[in-house]
Each structure stands twice: as structure tokens, then as C-alpha cells.
């Protein structure tokens, strides 16, 4: 083993990977990718800086760095900058597959609070620099925060939603209830894939009010809403219940409590579809699951789990038939009554 290799790895992470993320977030937040997409042409750095209200020097350095990271392209003869297929598709806010809101949530919430990861691992268990606060305090403190979080979740479903909804044939579940699906992104993928289905979004009253205003048109009658707390209030009637990125927010006791409530609400033959990043049984990976689990340690009381751990949760709640299907990023677990 070359002792220089670890040093090189650390230097790459510290000097390049972390700055790369912040450069990408900054260019997106300032509107660089949207400006170049909307203009449809190459532009000099001075024009971009003037249009976006930034310093000329700072913008030129930001653009050159984005070119080096292959987020933008440049024609050196006239020093003109342009967008790439990647930036148009994923980094511009106006793109249907945009990851803009996910990046902004990560930049403004997750990135900031990674400063407290040491505290979260230590016995003190500080979160957001204040042990009395958690992720949900931040998400629900205003309509703007709720909207931003829902946009962030939708960014994932634009890319992975169809994949997880097609993991199992759900066509025999015409009445579906999505718990905590405020952004309606997964519900929209569901009704597109299964035209005979309807989806009820079950979420807190203030979240439902925000979702109706920003995420679904009044003409879309296949998506409806039900207000309530899914830990306390009656569960709406449905053939299938969806828990997409919900269980990883909670400890085992809360998960069993919620799954038990859903088991009681289920008709015979009904089911619960859980969507999460599932750890390998031997916990060897995937890396995405371990990184998500660290974020859950920092932001919530939950964690990512192995297949046997999910089987145990379903079994404790009364479900007898549980199936797992691996997907592109998020995996699908279907429990049947």
C-alpha cells in the first residue's frame, strides 16, 4: 500500500469535491444555468455578470471553474460561455428534470448542518446546533420552507419516481394513499403509469394547503388531499398505502406504530409500498445508503435499514408477505395483508 495514496485521496476530497458542490450550488442559485438556457446562445462573462448583478471578476472565475467541471462550455476565441446538455437538463430551474430545488435544499439546510455532524455522533447529539430543533421544525416553520422541501423531494421523483412505481405491478390497486407526499411528484408518476388509479395525499393541514396552491392544478381530479397526522388521525381508505422516504425519518418503534396503523386500515389483499435506499444485508453498501444514514443521524431520529430490518418492521406490524425489488437509487418494498 502506497502511504501517499490516502493523502492524495484526502486532498482530492478537500480541495476539489467539496468546492465542486459549492461552485455548482452557487452558479445555480445565481441563475447562471437558467440565463444561458433561456438565451440559447453564447455570452461573454461581462454580460452574464451584468444581467445577474454580480461582480465581473467573481463571475468570470465562477464561469471558468464551471467550464473546468464540465458544467458549462466556452469558446476561447471570443471568451464566450454557453450551457451544456447536462446543465440544461438538470441544473436549470426551468427544466422538467431540474435538480435545482434539491441542490438548494442541500446547500441551505443539509450543507450548513453538516457542521454539527461531530456533535450528532457524540453523546451530546446536537442537531442544527440546538438539541431542541430537528428537520421538521425547519421544514414546517413557514410556507416557503414547506414549498422548498416539497420541490426538493419532487426533484428525486422526476428522475426515479417512474422506476420505483414500476418495480411492482400496482394496477390492481386503484385507490392509493400517499402519506407525506406533499409535492405530489410521486402521485403524478403513479397516475401517469396507472391511468385507472387515483391518489390521495395524506399530510398535515398546513402542508395540504401549500400543496393545493403550488403543486397540483384544480383540473387534476385523480389527485386529492386528506388532512391529518398519520400517527394520530384516522387513515383514509385505500387499496395501497405509499411511504416514500418516510420510515427512514423514524426509529423502529415509530415505524412499527405507523405500519401497524396501516395494517389495520388495509383491506385483505391490500398493501403498503415503502420506498427507501436499502442497505445490503451485510451492510457492505451501497455508499448512498450509508451517506443517507449519516444525514438521518444529523437531521432526524431515523436511519437506513437492511432488508431483514424492514422485514422485521413489517412482521411486527402484522404483514405476512413482504417483497423487495432493487431499483436505480431508491428501492421498493411491498408488504401485503
Same domain? 47 vs 172: no
- Claim to verify: residue 76 and residue 180 sit in the same structural domain: no
Count of domains forming the chain: 2
Q: What is the CATH number of the domain that holds 283?
A: 3.40.50.150
**56: CATH:** 1.10.10.10
- Domain final residue, candidates 74, 91, 108: 91
pLDDT given at position 127: 47
CA-CA distances (angstroms) from residue 81 to 50, 72, 173?
14, 7, 50
Question: Residue 93: pLDDT above 70?
Answer: yes
**Of the residues 61, 91, 121, the one at which a domain ends:** 91
Mark whether 117 and 173 lie in a shared domain. yes
- Look up the domain containing 220 and give its range: 100-336
User: Whole-angstrom Cα distance, residue 47 to residue 123?
Assistant: 52
Residue 92 contacts residue 34 (beta carbons within 8 Å) = yes
Strands 240-244, 271-276: parallel, antiparallel or unpaired by DSSP? parallel
Whole-number Å distance between alpha carbons of 270 and 172: 10
What crossing angle do the helices spanning 32-39 and 56-68 adopt, rounded to 10°?
Answer: 80
Indicate if 118 and 260 belong to the same structural domain.
yes
Q: Are residues 172 and 85 in the same domain?
A: no
Q: H or E segment at 310?
A: helix 307-317
Average pLDDT over residues 315-330: 94
Grid cell in block for residue 288: 448512498
Domain match, 51 and 119 both = no
Report the catalytic residues.
248
Same domain as 84, residue 110: no
> Where among 58, 91, 124 does a domain terminate?
91
- The CA distances from residue 140 to 81, 147, 183, 203, in Å, are 39, 9, 14, 12
pLDDT at 16 over 50: yes
Instruction: Note the pTM of the prediction, 2 decimals.
Output: 0.81
Assigned C-alpha cell, 263: 395494517
Average pLDDT of every residue of the chain:
89
Which helix (H) or strand (E) covers residue 199, if one does?
strand 198-203
277's grid cell: 435506499
For residues 23 and 124, membership in a common domain is answered with no
Cβ proximity of 87 and 37 under 8 Å: yes
Residue of 139, 219, 141 whose CA lies nearest to 183:
139
pLDDT at 5 over 70: no
Pair (77, 104) in one structural domain? no
- Of the ranges 68-77, 121-130, 134-143, the best mean pLDDT one: 68-77
Domain identity same for 81 and 147: no
Amino acid at each position: 500500500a502506497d502511504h501517499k495514496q490516502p493523502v492524495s485521496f484526502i486532498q482530492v476530497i478537500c480541495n476539489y469535491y467539496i468546492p465542486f458542490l459549492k461552485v455548482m450550488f452557487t452558479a445555480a442559485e445565481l441563475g447562471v444555468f437558467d440565463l444561458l438556457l433561456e438565451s440559447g446562445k453564447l455570452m461573454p462573462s461581462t454580460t452574464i455578470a451584468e444581467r445577474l448583478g454580480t461582480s465581473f471578476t467573481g463571475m468570470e472565475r465562477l464561469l471558468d471553474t464551471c467550464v473546468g467541471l464540465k458544467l458549462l462550455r466556452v469558446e476561447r476565441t471570443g471568451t464566450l460561455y454557453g450551457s451544456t446538455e447536462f446543465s440544461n437538463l438538470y441544473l436549470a430551474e426551468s427544466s422538467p428534470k431540474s435538480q435545482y430545488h434539491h441542490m438548494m435544499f442541500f446547500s441551505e439546510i443539509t450543507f450548513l448542518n453538516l457542521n454539527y455532524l461531530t456533535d450528532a455522533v457524540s453523546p451530546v447529539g446536537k442537531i442544527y446546533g440546538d438539541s431542541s430543533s430537528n428537520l421538521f421544525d425547519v421544514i414546517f416553520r413557514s410556507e416557503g420552507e414547506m414549498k422548498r422541501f416539497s420541490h426538493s423531494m419532487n426533484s428525486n421523483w422526476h428522475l426515479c419516481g417512474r422506476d420505483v412505481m414500476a418495480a411492482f405491478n400496482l394496477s390492481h390497486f386503484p385507490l392509493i394513499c400517499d402519506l407525506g407526499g406533499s409535492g405530489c411528484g410521486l402521485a403524478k408518476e403513479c397516475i401517469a403509469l396507472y391511468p385507472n388509479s387515483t391518489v390521495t395525499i395524506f399530510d398535515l393541514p398546513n402542508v395540504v394547503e401549500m400543496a393545493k396552491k403550488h403543486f397540483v392544478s384544480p383540473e387534476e381530479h385523480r389527485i386529492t388531499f386528506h388532512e391529518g397526522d398519520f400517527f394520530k388521525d384516522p387513515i383514509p381508505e385505500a387499496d395501497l398505502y405509499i411511504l416514500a422516504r418516510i420510515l427512514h425519518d423514524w426509529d423502529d418503534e415509530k415505524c412499527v406504530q405507523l405500519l401497524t396503523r396501516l395494517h389495520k386500515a388495509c383491506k385483505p389483499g391490500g398493501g403498503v409500498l415503502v420506498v427507501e435506499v436499502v442497505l445490503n444485508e451485510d451492510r457492505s453498501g451501497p455508499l448512498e445508503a450509508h451517506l443517507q444514514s449519516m444525514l438521518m443521524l444529523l437531521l432526524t431520529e431515523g436511519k437506513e435499514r437492511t432488508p431483514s430490518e424492514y422485514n422485521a418492521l413489517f412482521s411486527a406490524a402484522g404483514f405476512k408477505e413482504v417483497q423487495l425489488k432493487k431499483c436505480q437509487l431508491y428501492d421498493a418494498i411491498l408488504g401485503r395483508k
